[in-house]
């Protein structure tokens, strides 16, 4: 029973993260803040977590730098979610 509850909680959190990735203003604000401050983000791409700080943003690609991997080029359409210590954009409903 405990494992079923854990699985449900993990899936709920995963779906919440995916829903937030589609929130374009918050997603773009996180990318822009990482680029301007140099703070790192965690990019979730196809079940993988990739850490890096944004170097450049394009309509189709995001380029990030990482100590472990060097330069990373990510297709924006493949990014499921991002997380990091960034502020919420003005007018968002973040708590």
- Predicted pLDDT at 89: 61
Distance separating alpha carbons of residues 30 and 24, to the nearest angstrom: 10
| Domain 2-83 of CATH type 2.30.30.100 | yes
Q: CA-based angle 81:76:12, to the nearest 5?
A: 20
Name the token pair of 14: 């995963």
User: How do residues 26-82 score in pLDDT, each as one tens digit?
Assistant: 888 999 999 999 999 999 999 999 999 999 999 899 999 999 989 999 999 999 999
- Global confidence as pTM: 0.68
Pairing of strands 40-45, 70-75: unpaired
Local confidence band at 16 (pLDDT 50, 70, 90 cut-offs): very low
Contacts of residue 84, defined as CB under 8 A and 6 or more positions apart, other chains included, come to: 30, 34, 39, 40, 41, 42
Pairing of strands 48-57, 79-83: unpaired
Local confidence band at 14 (pLDDT 50, 70, 90 cut-offs): very low
Question: What is the residue extent of each domain of the chain?
Answer: 2-83
- Predicted pLDDT at 24: 77
């Amino acid at each position: 029973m405990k494992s079923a509850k854990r699985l449900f909680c993990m899936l709920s959190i995963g779906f919440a993260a995916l829903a937030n990735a589609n929130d374009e203003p918050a997603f773009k604000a996180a990318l822009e803040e990482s680029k301007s401050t140099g703070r790192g983000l965690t990019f979730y791409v196809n079940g993988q977590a990739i850490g890096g700080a944004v170097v450049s943003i394009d309509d189709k690609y995001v380029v990030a730098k990482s100590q472990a991997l060097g330069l990373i080029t990510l297709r924006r359409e493949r990014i499921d979610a991002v997380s990091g210590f960034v502020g919420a954009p003005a007018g968002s409903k973040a708590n």
